[in-house]
Copies of this chain bind each other. A is one copy, B any other.
Amino acid sequence: MASGRISLSIWFFFVFLINPSTSARTTSFIKLPRSDGSRYCDSWRLAAETNNAGTWDVIPSVCVDPVADYLNGDQFLSDYNVIADYALSFAKSVDISGDGKDVWVFDIDETLLTNIDYYKAHGYGSEPYDSNSFSEWVLQGTAPAFDASLKLYNALQKLGFTIILLTGRDEDQRSFTETNLRDAGYSGWERLLLRGPEDQGKSATDYKSEQRAKLIEEGFKIRGNTGDQWSDLLGFAVADRSFKVPNPMYYIP
């Protein structure tokens, strides 16, 4: 088990600062008064993304419309792109050994694939999680890629990273998941790790930490990790740098 001090190193690993994608200095000329609901919901999203909100089950009911607006608008994509850019900048700074042991871990749902169409039909996170209903969606295998994640994924492969997919999906969803990933454009992963019977009942943090620890025991060096949940990233056997992509719809402990 990695010590807290080692865990710390993920966060403070030096990284090249990226340049803003827009070079023009622009300001807003007109300001509209924002509704208190929207302002609160922006604050709630920030609290959730920074893990200040702790464990939560459903999004605040007052935030359904603001969260939908955010997810369907340009800000969400921008937020995603900027984080993917930081991840790629860090990746380029890694000294790849060339022995195939430099790993980048990706979560799948809301990280490589977007289930926005499912959540759109289920209140954008305002309805409690329904495992049966979500399993039906998974079996359809129609979740598209996030463009930013697909670009990052491909760029990491070109840089020489070994890609390992680590998901909370169950082992019996393997073939549907593989097909969906390939249909969405992903290929060339080294392993797809799903929850086996022995992993049932474990928190995502414990399950994913254990899986990462096994990789390290095998000699892999986990350089980077991208996930939409803090439980994808924290725990033990953490990556050198972890990247939390936004997801204001649900929280998995």
Contact partner, A25, options B2, B20, B65, Cβ 8 Å: B65
If A8-B236, A50-B49 touch, whether A27 touches B22 (CB-CB below 8 Å) is no
Q: Are B43 and A75 in contact (CB under 8 A)?
A: yes
Evaluate whether A27 and B90 lie within 8 angstroms (CB atoms) in the complex, with A4-B4, A79-B46 already known: no
Chain A residues engaging chain B, CB cutoff 8 angstroms: 1-8, 11-15, 17, 19-28, 30, 32, 34-44, 46-47, 49-57, 60-66, 69, 74-75, 78-79, 81-83, 86-87, 90, 203, 205, 209, 230-231, 234-238, 241, 243-244, 246, 253
> B30–A32 contact, CB under 8 A?
yes
In the complex, A63 Cα to B82 Cα: how many Å? 14
Report chain B residues within 8 Å CB of A52.
Answer: 83, 86-87, 243-244
Chain B residues, Cβ within 8 Å of A21 = 36, 40
In the complex, are the beta carbons of A5 and B241 less than 8 A apart?
Answer: no
**CA A83 to CA B54, docked complex, whole Å:** 11
10 contacting pairs across A/B (C-beta < 8 A): A1-B4, A4-B6, A4-B235, A4-B238, A22-B36, A39-B74, A42-B78, A43-B79, A46-B46, A46-B82
A225 to B82, CA, bound (A): 29
- Cα A54 to Cα B82 in complex, Å, equals 12
- In the bound complex, what is the Cα–Cα distance between A249 and B113 (angstroms)? 33
Cβ–Cβ < 8 Å partners of A75 in chain B = 34, 39, 42-43
Q: Kindly report which residue of chain B lies nearest to residue A236, judged by CB atoms.
A: B4
Contact A32 B32 (CB under 8 A): yes
Query: Which residue on B lies nearest to A245, using beta carbons?
Result: B52
Contact yes or no, B37 A25, CB < 8 A: yes
- Which residue in B28, B44, B235 is a CB contact (below 8 Å) of A35? B28
Bound: A79/B44 CA distance, A: 8
Closest beta carbon of chain B to A4's beta carbon, Å: 4
CB <8 Å contact, B39 and A78: yes
A209 to B23, CA, bound (A): 39
Q: A26-B35, A83-B52, A86-B54 are in contact. Are A40 and B20 (CB under 8 A)?
A: yes
**In the bound complex, what is the Cα–Cα distance between A14 and B235 (angstroms)?**
16
Asked if residues B54 and A15 are in contact (CB atoms below 8 Å), the reply is: yes
